[in-house]
Amino acid sequence: MASNLAPIPELYVSYESAQKLKAEAGNLASHDLTPRQICDLELLMNGGFNPLKGFLTEEDYDSVVETMRTKDGALWPMPVTLDVSEKFADTVELGQDIALRDQEGVILATMTVTDKWVPNKSREAEKVFGADDLAHPAVNYLHNHAGAVYLGGPITGIQQPVHYDFRARRDTPNELRAYFRKMGWRKIVAFQTRNPLHRAHQELTFRAAKEAQANLLIHPVVGMTKPGDVDHFTRVRCYEAVLDKYPSSTTHLSLLNLAMRMAGPREALWHAIIRKNHGLTHFIVGRDHAGPGKNSQGEDFYGPYDAQELVRQHQEEVGIEMVDFKHMVYVQEKAQYYPIDEVPEGATVLNISGTELRRRLAEGLEIPEWFSFPEVVKELRRTKPPRAKQGFTVFFTGFSGSGKSTIANALMVKLMEMGGRPVTLLDGDIVRKNLSSELGFSKEHRDLNIRRIGYVASEITKNGGIAICAPIAPYAATRRAVREDVENFGAFIEVHVATSIEECEKRDRKGLYKLAREGKIKEFTGISDPYDVPENPELRVETEGTDVDNCAHQVILKLEQMGLIAG
């Protein structure tokens, strides 16, 4: 049997052993997995991360970070680690077994902890992602979301995570290999995507399959992608809508529950290894494969063809052939798509960027048939109505006494006067009383309070309402996390109420600043605790010498300018 069609090892035990292990695991220390860890665990257990037998040990981690290889020399470009809190790590001894549970408490696997260490996350960011730059979503995740301690060790799979959506479309590596055997497919090219399929993608996949003389697997990622991406439910409906554009017996759609890191070249090589494990012989690597966009200096994190170069260097060792593709553009005179470097001289090139597509969807503008399929546009419009009908969040931040609550109240009244959408005010004091009465004012508790506000605001936004938030929110990392939560569903408008600390002290009706200066209130923002001034808020308002009505009106004008309310 061809090596790409033979079964590969999985880390699951038999059904009988799993039942026994489940009963025993009830007495073990438990770690509740994050969404990213569940994706990683699933691919470890089903062979998608072969040759890994568990979460990386410290030696393997160091070797992967430095050399893209495990300590025994196996090519592996991406650290796959179990990050946990210091509190949980303190309860775990080396050699101990722990139960790994999903977010509902179901035991998915056990792990023997062989290693426990505090990683150098800045080094990991530099080596794996090319820069220790928080503009990179994976670097931000590393520093602001991931646990401080890493655990490593082999895992024993009990059961795969439960997916209630698109179950018929989810295949393990061995299920895909069996499908290829059944269909008599010998050469199969994979198309990796985290976006809806438009006509350029279809042309690219047709050409790739033809060039490789192979069948086509559309293999989109439905685990974690880049914050702000189209949700996977919408994307899969888009893929299903265009499947009949492909010859029926030559193409298969299968969903990959991978948590992407957006690591450019290393990610592309990782994707190639994962596709090899799924039984594929060819893999399409496009322009800026798995790139996260711009860095803090406004430049691309990776060169447009860096990913292709790295995969080309290692394709023989991986055992998969790369099909490299340039950016596809539409040539008006020929009424068809060409790779950008094959465009006839003097021809008119038409192209719509991702940003332009989002703008057209947001404003309800026409999306031409040469660019996408009517079925795809219809699905996208269902999920993304015009901006003036979407929910959104206005998030005020500033010192205590800066005027946030007063402006937020005035804004709420103005928006309610306009009508059309429900408006909810999540003021700092109101939230403290109704949602966070048990929390103190430590950094940890203040962060938790803001995350709660963000969660409620994202739910309001998702359901088409307007959330107005007015906490102090001193930390940039927490504000960014709230932005990411909200932007999954609608617009997030950060308004920095830029009143100076001196003016806030003058206005201090509650005497809080005086108590903070005397040391009677600890960790007080602006006095004994820092405030991260927003670098690029959507709006900055000055309240000194400006009345409240004018400040609220500035916000209204900004909302009109963004198309969120009708002018």
Q: Using N-to-C axis directions, what is the helix angle for 476-487 and 137-144, rounded to 10°?
A: 120
Active-site annotation holder among 36, 177, 194, 237: 194
- Starting at the edge strand found earlier in the chain, the sheet holding 321-324 runs 251-253, 215-218, 188-191, 282-285, 321-324
- The continuous run of DSSP H or E covering 185 comes out as none
Active-site annotation holder among 114, 144, 195, 550: 195
Q: How many residues does the chain have?
A: 567
Q: Between the CA of residue 300 and those of 195, 226, 337, 422, 502, what are the distances in Å? A: 19, 15, 25, 39, 40
For residue 61 the two structure tokens come to 């981690």
C-alpha span between 149 and 124 (Å, rounded)? 13
C-alpha span between 122 and 214 (Å, rounded)? 42
Amino acid residing at 555: V
Assign 283 to helix, strand or coil: strand
In which residue are the tokens 């220790």 written?
A: 132
C-alpha span between 200 and 351 (Å, rounded)? 10
Answer yes or no: 167 catalytic. no
The angle subtended at Cα 190 by Cα 188 and Cα 196, nearest 5°, is: 140
CB 235 within 8 Å of CB 223: no
Characterize the bridge pairing of strands 54-55 and 29-32: unpaired
Q: How many CB atoms lie within 10 A of CB 247?
A: 11
* DSSP category for residue 74: -
Assign 347 to helix, strand or coil: coil
Answer yes or no: 193 catalytic. yes
Q: How many CB atoms lie within 10 A of CB 533?
A: 13
- What's the distance, Cα to Cα, between the start and end of the chain in Å? 66
C-alpha span between 484 and 208 (Å, rounded)? 35
Residues whose CB falls within 8 Å of the CB of residue 450, separated by 6 or more in sequence, listed in order: 471, 473, 475, 478, 479, 482
Q: What secondary structure does DSSP assign to 379-430, as a single string?
A: HHHHHS--GGGS-EEEEEE--TTSSHHHHHHHHHHHHHHH-SS-EEEEEHHH
C-alpha span between 566 and 461 (Å, rounded)? 17
Active-site annotation holder among 70, 193, 215, 397: 193
C-alpha span between 68 and 62 (Å, rounded)? 9
Assign 248 to helix, strand or coil: coil
Answer yes or no: 195 catalytic. yes
Characterize the bridge pairing of strands 321-324 and 115-117: unpaired
Buried-exposed string 409-419: b where 16+ CB fall within 10 A, e elsewhere: bbbbebbeeee
The angle subtended at Cα 267 by Cα 261 and Cα 273, nearest 5°, is: 125
Catalytic positions, please?
Answer: 193-195
